[in-house]
Amino acid sequence: MTQPKDFGFGVEEQLLQTEARKFFKKQLDELTLMELVGGNSDPHRDSECLWDEKMWEQMADLGWTTMAVPEAFGGTGMSGVAVASFIEETGRVALPSPLMATVNSSYVLSACGTDEADSVLKEIAGDKTAGLAITNQKGSWCSMDTDVSAVVTEDKATLNGMAWFVQDARKVDLFLVKAESEAGIGLYAVSADAPGVTILPDSIVDLTRDQARVNFEGVAIGADKIVAAPGKGNLALDAAEPAILTMISADMCGAAEWQLQTTVAYAKTRMQFERPIGFFQAVKHPVVNMMIMIDCARSLVFNAACAIDHEPEQAKAAAHMAKAAASDMAAFCSGRSVQYHGGMGFTWECFVHLFFKRQIHNQVLFGDAAYHRAELAEMLIGPLVAGG
Amino acid sequence: MSEKGKKESPEQIEFREYCREWLSKNTPGDPPVRLPQMAIEITTQAEMDYLVPWQKAAWEAGLCGADYPKAYGGGGRTGCQLIANEEMQRVGTPYFPNVIALGMAAPTILHHGSEELKKRFIPKILSCEEIWCQGFSEPDAGSDLASVQTFAERAGDNWVINGQKIWTSLATFSSWMIILCRTDRSVKHKGLTYFIVPIESYIGKGIEVRPLIKITGETGFNEVFLTDLEIPDKYRLDDVGNGWSVAMTTLIHERGAGPMVTPSAGGRRADDAPGNAMDLIDLARQSERNGRPAAEDPVIRDRMIELIIRQKGFRQSIRRVRVKGLVDNPMRIGLQGKLLFTEIAQEVSALALEIEGAASTLFMNDENAPNKGQWPLMYLNSYGMTIAAGTSEVLRNILGERVLGMPKTK
Ligand SMILES: Cc1cc2nc3c(=O)[nH]c(=O)nc-3n(C[C@H](O)[C@H](O)[C@H](O)COP(=O)(O)OP(=O)(O)OC[C@H]3O[C@@H](n4cnc5c(N)ncnc54)[C@H](O)[C@@H]3O)c2cc1C
């Protein structure tokens, strides 16, 4: 298969992007965001879960929360490039929401291809939110890694163990849990309020997200909630991985563009030595480098999104490229955005830390730059012989 | 990647078919001599003898100058040069030798020249009958181009020019030169006027061309001395004192961001172009580090992949620049092109030297040099690319000022 030159980014996608930009600009300017998530600066504060549920309802009414659910199951079923550009807009305002978690879950469920998964997709289409509970204590979601086990019988499964680093855990209605049983890795849909499920919130750096450990203690679910049978779970996760990596990279591009524009605006107005600081090349050139890195990552994001839509055999490599570029880019842009705001940038009061912290979170989520380069090296160069 | 973009016009679709058909029968054979990496590095007549007939054939077929008006020897088409460029790159044709004329002189003459000049000069540029060079830089005026001192003095209907240009690529082959001169010493930018001047036919009669030796040891660019060179006023482009804005037309095209798409055979497919980071993988398989293939060294792998990703991102940006909705400001990517292409190529060749290790010390003539010394040569040449046509530093100024709107450095 081949990709269309224009990434498949046509009139419809443009319309959605414009609408989304308008919506978020109106609903969530920086001050509103600060009031929403920045109220408590105490580093020892209790873990919080701050988001605007009313806005989420509006987004649901607009069909935005089901964009990765195929139309056949009642979602709005948008293309990968449309979802990527929408998520980019949410990154631009550092939106606290279960969108990414729900979109990721939708991709995983679609990849399962089972009746059980399809019926969960229908639940999402009916405005349920979902999140992935697939990571172990070491932060890995690769191959057999999971700290949750499953005992599967004829008509039910019982889960025990802990899922770590679960994103937006307190914002979602259900989890897709990666668990190991005798027959291998399976995926299980578990309601967040099911008996035996305990959410243990993490205290995290990022103010725009919530994260938790989710403990499963003898959690029993019906066979109709086994969305990928034991032995099939990793196939579904693998198939959804390109989309997951692409969407988080899109979020990072949006956030970084905010950092760029905000830093440029400051560099144009902040006067020192009788000049705006943007006059100095020690400021100007790295700011240009921010732009260059954003453009590179952004182009790779749309390349990966288009591959998901049109050239699935290329999607994995393209997604590794996007996430590697986006993670490095985010680190650089975040650092520069704080540095060039000077002392002001070092304060809680200044908005830049909200995006800075979201990016720190994004950089490592689902693998950092070095990890994705190593993965890509395996694909392009061949395996690195261990211990050799 | 698919070639059938959604919004291609019927003319473009038909023209693409035509280009494919023509190229399937008319791509020139392998060059008899080893060609330099880029056209501005052409140094021998043998190279020219192979390349000039190729450009002429492409012009006759309508692939060089497709978008120029018919009255000036072009194809009179719209949006078709891009198609021809893509198709030529696809089959990997050699580059066109008349690069400065095609990329800079022709669009400048088209935008600022009189009807007479357009009719006289553009056809011979497209056909490669006359080769051009660019006389902008001077010993004391490089990045600060507006400080040129070569002086043109009015003498009735003529101008008399005195001064020196430097780093003039292709001057030894050139019939004509575009030149930026000072006509008023009391003001800086407003004291400049833009002309075209004859070179070949005035050697010894006001023009002297002296080759300079490049960092690689090859000849490449030249010094051009102008002594009481007398030219008619009709060779002036645009008004007296308006030279700076004419020069901007030249530079914007030189940097690949101008309205006219430069006819460019590209030389090779993108994947095959010099400085392709993917080439490093094979090099790393053949080279050793600590007794093992360099391709198994995790650090080398990481750095190769990092460059491969950046290069891919750059190519995807070129794809993205034409998609409405995915670019807020087309200049933003357009003006990054030269900067990124050259900096990535420089880093690729620097890493190639590291991968080659001790063997990277061997230059072109050494029988043991891997890849005939291509990588050391390329690494040396890469600095020409990051200096010429606006240094990387100057380009970052331009991006910061014109795209991001930060205050001017000067
Ligand atoms: C291979 C090659 C081919 C060329 N061909 C031609 C040609 O055909 N015709 C022609 O006219 N010229 C040609 N040039 C000349 C080229 O345009 C100049 O070399 C270039 O503009 C830089 O000028 P300079 O060499 O005087 O360096 P300078 O301007 O003296 O620069 C020296 C250093 O200072 C930095 N610098 C200067 N100003 C600034 C600033 N404002 N901010 C930050 N850093 C700054 C530069 O980036 C550079 O690193 C060629 C050059 C090369 C290398």
How high is the pLDDT of residue B257? 76
How high is the pLDDT of residue B153? 98
The parent domain of residue B100 ranges over: 3-126
What is the pTM (predicted TM-score) of this model?
0.94
Alpha carbons A200 and A215: distance in angstroms, whole number: 7
Counting from 1 in the atom list of ligand 1, the atom nearest the Cα of B135 is 11
What's chain A's average pLDDT? 97
A residues 279-298 near B, CB within 8 Å? 279, 281, 283-285, 287-289, 291-292, 295-298
Indicate if the pLDDT at residue B4 is higher than 90. Answer: no
Number of folded domains that form chain A: 3
Q: What is the pLDDT of residues A75-97, one digit of tens each?
A: 999 999 999 999 999 999 999 99
DSSP letters along A348-386, please?
A: SSSTHHHHHHHHHHHHHTT--HHHHHHHHHHHHT-PPPT
How high is the pLDDT of residue A173? 98
Q: Say if A388 is an interface residue toward chain B (CB within 8 Å).
A: yes
Residue B194 bridge partners (DSSP): B180, B237
Q: In the structure encoding, which two tokens stand for residue B256, read together? A: 């690949």
Task: Select from B1, B296, B317 the Cβ nearest to the Cβ of A2.
Answer: B1
Q: Is residue B52 domain-resident?
A: yes
Q: What is the pLDDT of residues A279-299, one digit of tens each?
A: 999 999 999 999 999 999 999
Contact: A285, B400; criterion CB under 8 Å: yes
Q: Which residues contact A32 (CB under 8 A, 6 or more apart)?
A: none
Alpha carbons B278 and B143: distance in angstroms, whole number: 33
Q: Is residue B213 domain-resident?
A: yes
Q: Which helix (H) or strand (E) holds A188?
A: strand A184-191
Q: Give, using CA atoms, the residue closest to atom 24 of ligand 1.
A: B142
Contact: B7, A292; criterion CB under 8 Å: no
How high is the pLDDT of residue B266? 67
| Last residue of one domain, picked from the residues B205, B238, B254 | B254
Q: Are residues B106 and B219 both part of a single domain?
A: no
Indicate if the pLDDT at residue B2 is higher than 70. Answer: no
Contact: B320, A302; criterion CB under 8 Å: yes
Q: In the structure encoding, which two tokens stand for residue B93, read together? A: 């044709």
A170 pLDDT band, cuts 50/70/90, is very high
How high is the pLDDT of residue B7? 75
Helical packing angle, A53-61 and A11-27, nearest 10°: 160
Q: Is residue B264 domain-resident?
A: no
| Last residue of one domain, picked from the residues A179, A206, A231 | A231
Alpha carbons B86 and B98: distance in angstroms, whole number: 18
Q: Are residues B290 and B382 both part of a single domain?
A: yes
Q: Find out whether the beta carbon of B162 lies less than 6 Å from any atom of ligand 1.
A: no
Catalytic pick among B87, B254, B347, B356: B254
Number of folded domains that form chain B: 3
Q: Say if B298 is an interface residue toward chain A (CB within 8 Å).
A: yes
Among A138, A229, A240, A239, which residue's Cα sits nearest to residue A186?
Answer: A229
How high is the pLDDT of residue B330? 82
Q: Is residue B81 domain-resident?
A: yes
Q: Give percent of chain B above pLDDT 70.
A: 96
Over residues B96-102, mean pLDDT: 97
Asked whether the beta carbons of A24 and A16 are under 8 A apart, the reply is: no
Phi, psi of A36 (to 5 degrees): -70, -45
How high is the pLDDT of residue B269? 44
For residue A291, the chain B residues in CB contact (below 8 A) are: 332, 399, 403-404
Q: What is the pLDDT of residues B104-142, one digit of tens each?
A: 999 999 999 999 999 999 999 999 999 999 999 999 999
Q: Are residues B104 and B147 both part of a single domain?
A: no
Active site residue B347: no
Indicate if the pLDDT at residue B409 is higher than 90. Answer: no
Q: Are residues A368 and A250 both part of a single domain?
A: yes
A388 pLDDT band, cuts 50/70/90, is very low
Q: What is the pLDDT of residues B139-191, one digit of tens each?
A: 999 999 999 999 999 999 999 999 999 999 999 999 999 999 999 999 999 99
Alpha carbons A299 and B312: distance in angstroms, whole number: 9
Q: What is the pLDDT of residues B256-304, one digit of tens each?
A: 778 899 998 865 544 456 678 999 999 999 999 889 999 999 999 999 9
3-state secondary structure of B387: helix
Q: Are residues B27 and B91 both part of a single domain?
A: yes
Q: What is the pLDDT of residues A208-230, one digit of tens each?
A: 999 999 999 999 999 999 999 99
Q: In the structure encoding, which two tokens stand for residue B141, read together? A: 């005026």
Contact: A279, B308; criterion CB under 8 Å: no
Q: Which amino acid is at B320?
A: R
Q: What is the CATH number of the domain that holds B203?
A: 2.40.110.10
Pairing assessment for the beta strands A130-133 and A148-152 based on DSSP bridges: unpaired
Q: Find out whether the beta carbon of B147 lies less than 6 Å from any atom of ligand 1.
A: no
Q: What is the CATH number of the domain that holds A371?
A: 1.20.140.10
Helical packing angle, A80-92 and A11-27, nearest 10°: 20
Mutation site, A22, A300, A302, A340, interface B, largest B CB count within 10 A: A300
Alpha carbons B192 and B242: distance in angstroms, whole number: 6
Q: In the structure encoding, which two tokens stand for residue B251, read together? A: 């530079």
Q: Which helix (H) or strand (E) holds B137?
A: none
Indicate if the pLDDT at residue A201 is higher than 50. Answer: yes
Q: Are residues A211 and A254 both part of a single domain?
A: no
CA angle B388, B393, B396 (to 5 degrees): 110
Ligand 1 centroid to residue B169 C-alpha, Å? 13
Asked whether the beta carbons of B187 and B158 are under 8 A apart, the reply is: no
Q: Say if B270 is an interface residue toward chain A (CB within 8 Å).
A: no
Distance from CA of B3 to the nearest CA of A (A): 7
Among B233, B157, B240, which residue's Cα sits nearest to residue B194?
Answer: B240
Contact: B319, A303; criterion CB under 8 Å: yes
How high is the pLDDT of residue B273? 60
Q: Are residues B389 and B359 both part of a single domain?
A: yes
Ligand 1 centroid to residue B304 C-alpha, Å? 29
Q: Find out whether the beta carbon of B143 lies less than 6 Å from any atom of ligand 1.
A: yes
For residue B335, the chain A residues in CB contact (below 8 A) are: none
How high is the pLDDT of residue B267? 56
Residue B388's CB: how many other CB atoms inside 10 A?
Answer: 17
| Last residue of one domain, picked from the residues A68, A102, A126 | A126
Residue located via tokens 């590794």: A320
Burial of A220 (0-12, 13-18, 19+ CB in 10 A): middle
How high is the pLDDT of residue B275? 79
Residue located via tokens 């490039």: A81
Alpha carbons A238 and B360: distance in angstroms, whole number: 41
Asked whether the beta carbons of A189 and A227 are under 8 A apart, the reply is: yes
